[in-house]
Structure 1
Amino acid sequence: MTQQNGLRERKKQRTHETISNTAIALFFEHGYDQVSITQVADAAEVSRRTLFSYFPSKEDLVTHRLADHETESARVVRGRPSGQSPLDALREHYLDGLARRDPITGLTDLEPALMLYRLILETPSLAGGMLKFKDNGERALAEALRDTAGLPDFTARLAAAQVMAVVWTLSLANREAVVAGAGADAVYPDAVAAAEAGFAQLASGLGVVAAEHP
């Protein structure tokens, strides 16, 4: 990369960060639905055209902060050690995330992450936009299961749907508990127990639902 290209890339990165930080600050202060794209562009001192070249939609101004995690489960499956099952790799990765208080698990006390969660949870259009995020992650995981575990396409899709449902349910429960005021450290033991139960149910299938109960 030439020096000129390097400078160009750094400038683009600064512009990206400026637009993102400006948008998030406005959304926190005034509410997501009360702030327009034009207001974000004006505050960031860029044109609407420039803004849309970095963020194709208003929702992307928020959800891009989670973009690195969109295909994380697929990367875990593809990068697992030889001899380890995909489910064991995903379980270990999720438990490690809880131990590190990774914000994507919902178990964090970091105020910027909590504010972002509140914004998403309290804004229907953003919550709906997260479905696209989840669908993309599910699709990538299905491809990883098919490619690395040799599963038929439909079987891989069913497995990915179940895994992503469990992971999202666990993370949402953690997020809601912390946003409600419980500290991450206090929630941690229950979060670990819930994760172990969730992955155990994935491993055993839906026998708990199929069995008859008095």
Structure 2
Amino acid sequence: MRHEPGLRERKKRETRQLISDIATGLFLERGFDEVTVVEVAAVANVSAKTVFNYFPRKEDLFLDRFPDLLERVASAVRERPEGATPLKALKDEYLLMLEERDPVTGFGDERLTAFRQVIHNSPALQGRVREVVQELEDLLAVLFAEAYGEEADDPDVRMAALTTVGVLRTVNWASARMIAAGESGDALADHLRDLAERLFARLERALDAR
């Protein structure tokens, strides 16, 4: 059962979201490397220390949705229905995120093209993106290991985690190409859902055959 936050926790989340929204707006307007944490704090009417309390690294101001993604992934696998495989639980959660048009999927926010450009222009952000992708892979390895009674460093477990990340990155890559080609709305959503279902099905067959 998922935890329902209390008033204090909700206020902390609201403050965190406010800081992130302001930072993202500034980064999109001026570029990541041209905005300081002190500037973000001033616009948000908080101290720089408060910003760092919520976001230990400047890069995480821009990639603020990643912790939520990790939480959703972990909950989907650990709280999956009886009889469902971890991969089935992940697929269902990802399809739900596509339906919700969660920006983490690379779809659903009209600013995504600009968002990707900010990352492209910042070596610091590119490095952090590589780190968070690795964190996702590591989490998936732990979840698969828990589900199958293996060790997280088992080669088969790592392969399953790596290829699952590959599916998610491929859908995100396809989304960027389709958006650049002018596709949007329900047509884009349908294409991404079909692609995700097809790739997850192929991955499931491959893992079953090992």
What interval of TM-score do these two structures reach, taking the shorter chain for normalisation?
0.7 to 0.9
Q: What's 1:173 paired with?
A: 174
Q: What's 1:92 paired with?
A: 92
Q: Which has the higher contact order (CA 8 A, sep 6+)?
A: 1
After superposition, the Cα gap between the structure-2 partners of 1:52 and 1:171, relative to the gap in structure 1 and judged at 3 Å, is same
After superposition, the Cα gap between the structure-2 partners of 1:148 and 1:56, relative to the gap in structure 1 and judged at 3 Å, is same
Local SS of the residue matching 1:111: coil
CA distance in 2, matches of 1:52, 1:45: 14
Local SS of the residue matching 2:183: coil
Q: What's 2:65 paired with?
A: 65
Displacement of 1:180 in angstroms is: 5.0
- 5+ residue gaps, structure 1, are 1-5, 207-214
* Contact 1:71–1:141, Cα closer than 8 Å, also in 2: no
How far does the alpha carbon of each residue in 1:41-75 deviate from its partner, in whole angstroms, 9 at most, with x for none? Answer: 33333333332222211101111233201243332
Displacement of 1:161 in angstroms is: 1.3
Displacement of 1:117 in angstroms is: 4.4
After superposition, the Cα gap between the structure-2 partners of 1:44 and 1:145, relative to the gap in structure 1 and judged at 3 Å, is same
Query: Which amino acid counterpart does residue 149 of structure 1 have in structure 2?
Result: Y
After superposition, the Cα gap between the structure-2 partners of 1:10 and 1:142, relative to the gap in structure 1 and judged at 3 Å, is closer
Displacement of 1:107 in angstroms is: 2.6
Structure 1, 12-21 or 127-136: larger mean CA deviation: 12-21
Displacement of 1:10 in angstroms is: 6.5
- 5+ residue gaps, structure 2, are 1-5
Mapped pair 1:38 → 2:42? no
After superposition, the Cα gap between the structure-2 partners of 1:45 and 1:180, relative to the gap in structure 1 and judged at 3 Å, is farther
How far does the alpha carbon of each residue in 1:124-156 deviate from its partner, in whole angstroms, 9 at most, with x for none? Answer: 422321222222222222111111222343132
CA distance in 2, matches of 1:7, 1:97: 26
Displacement of 1:116 in angstroms is: 3.7
Matches within 5 A, 1:180-191: 180-191=181-192
Q: Using structure 2 for the length normalisation, give the TM-score.
A: 0.78
CA distance in 1, matches of 2:14, 2:196: 38
The structure whose Rg is larger is: 1
Displacement of 1:113 in angstroms is: 5.3
After superposition, the Cα gap between the structure-2 partners of 1:144 and 1:205, relative to the gap in structure 1 and judged at 3 Å, is same
Q: Using structure 1 for the length normalisation, give the TM-score.
A: 0.77
Displacement of 1:8 in angstroms is: 6.6
Q: What is the aligned residue count?
A: 200
Query: Which amino acid counterpart does residue 105 of structure 2 have in structure 1?
Result: T
How much is the aligned-residue C-alpha RMSD, in angstroms? 2.8
After superposition, the Cα gap between the structure-2 partners of 1:22 and 1:172, relative to the gap in structure 1 and judged at 3 Å, is same
